[in-house]
A and B are shown apart, each in its own frame.
Chain A
Amino acid sequence: MKISCDIDIKHLTRVEGHGNIRIVIQDGQVQEARWEVVETPRFFEAILVGKHFENAPYLCGRICGICSIGHTLASIRAVENGFGITPTVQTSRLRLLLKHMETLQSHILHIYFLAAPDYLGVGSVLPLTQSHPAVVQQALRLKLLANDICDEVGGRRLHPTRTVVGGFTMLPDRYRLGQFRQRLQASLVDLGVSVELFRSFSIPDFQRETEFVSLQGKGDYPFIGGDLISTDGVVKQEQEYAAMTNEYMAEWSTSKLSRLSRKSLAVGALARINNNFAGLLPEARAIAEEVGLVPVTHNPFMNVMAQLVECVQVVLESMQLIDDLLAEPWQDPRQVVAVRAGIGVAAVEVPRGILYHCLHLDAAGRIVKADCVIPTSQNHANIRHDIEALAVFCVGQGKSDKEIELLAEMLVRAYDPCISCSVH
């Protein structure tokens, strides 16, 4: 029997923001397969115009409720690059620790609360509190740890308070940092159990060749600043971000879209691992190999596994960062900021992929022009093409309506889209 289906999902659930999926198949022919972005724009790039630079981290953090730390750090880096400021080693370590803990928090939220219910056959995490209480407790424990460290370093887990241009308003408590290191060590056990759990899930065997874009590590795994690379061989410098993102608009999306060597590109945990596999720490790399994640993996569903590998990576790196911080006495938390006219670009790997902020600053330190290129906006076109390919794949596999609908939802969720962020 030839497949026919009519899937019309308005405001997909268990993703951040508002997007629709439409798939129409008639007698085995895909008539329509679309991902649409219907989020309302908030116009942050206009809001920033005329504002003094000290507003930038405070306002930009509010682009996103999940990756507010990433946006805050990107706008700080953009201002500092514009002013020609190099952060101190202490500030850089604290920022990276803060960002790692945002990544852990965000990845755990996604893999357990947003993605895992599909693999466990439930509609949300709520039934799991009854059926899998240990799993839920473990997820909450990991998330709590990450958030507690964000509170300690950034002042607040969401919309951080201590992060400013030049450094921090105040420093974390050294004794508590030491305690957090112990909790990080203990969390590796929870992460090990998580790996076992996710290995037991049957990840859909769907592939579509994709160009993956990320920062390039220099022997390490990259997170803040550096060169931009793609699996198709493009290499650019941080300030050339616009040539890496090539933003354009299309009628199906209120978010801007990106492309590079192909009609679309992908960013995120999978892109980072595909481009920087050698930079993973041995323990994280072993897990990646164990779960079948070797470069270049073209299965978007594997992004969830890539996030899990990154959880291990950031926990290990964070323990080292705390050791390094505690090995030296505290220096001044905040550098003096000398204002000058300039254009500052920042590229930061945030949970969902590479984030760019570009700020044009005048001699008084006011923002003249702002541009923010969001990871999910770079992914939207790729999600759309994946949905098209998935519909064809499902016809070939003889999937039922319900299966196609679920797979399409799972595919979008696998990207962990942050849609309100992408429209900003």
Chain B
Amino acid sequence: MATQSKTANIKTADSQTTTIALRRPGQDSTRNAIILGIGLLIALAAPYVLYPVFVMKVLCFALFACAFNLLIGFAGLLSFGHAAFFGGAAYITAHSAKVWGLGPEVSILLGMGFSALLGLAFGALAIRRQGIYFAMITLALSQMVFFMALQLKFTGGEDGIQAVPRGHLFGVIDLNNSLSMYYFVLAVFLVGFAVVWRAVHSPFGQVLKAIRENEPRAVSLGYRTERYKLLAFVLSASLAGLAGGTKALVFQLASLTDVTWQMSGEVVLMTLLGGMGTLLGPVVGAAIVVTLESYLAATSMPVPVVIGAIFVVCVLVFRRGIVGELQARFGRR
């Protein structure tokens, strides 16, 4: 009897959540559309106002941060090794474009495929432990990738792979033109962002959130949480690879910087600063961090100290991040 009433209670609670969840998109859709529309306009106009390579860098890192956020924000998994997917894909893309002479779209897809496989391997290992161990395992595994990139022949060691040709998109559009390149990068970003949006707003995304909130309960409801976590990990790794491969073509360079633990930390910071678990947060965070870094590069201020200080401040007093804070203020979840 007691169990029955409990089940009933849970059911009511669930159905309430569902009603709320169903009502929300309706209320928010106009506002979302407006925000997205403005964002899109800014993105379309940006290369005429700002230095295109800079905006492309922002977009690549924004996609990278969105991919990372899919794990931490929606599945509650803190990966401290996402640089392995970002930088790994950059190497594969650069190698395919330069040595094998493949087109940009194929090169990027190859890089992304590599990251997906790497993500499958790392994810399968890392999801065997939870919480803090998950972070340490991903960090250690990505450090392994760093050492391999340092020692393998094709990565060029300290020099990296330089002078990567951007090539012609689908054999037609010349990407050496910085505007064409820009709109290509924007398209890549939008596709990646749409994938994240779709994943978060799907039943799959709901299960991820359930795992984040209470994994034992998700298990007791009959979900095989390992599979969901692994799928989220692979998806996140692939998107990080998409960002990394694109970045390799933008800068025509794949280097060790992209696979260091500092890079993994940077993407954590972007997401934290922008707002974990919000869709736009990582984009905002990436834009701020990239801008800040290019500004600091011109001064004599030590970049890691500033980055570290922002980290500390965010963790201590600003855990919701910018977008999270705005949403909390304007009463939106």
A-B interaction? no
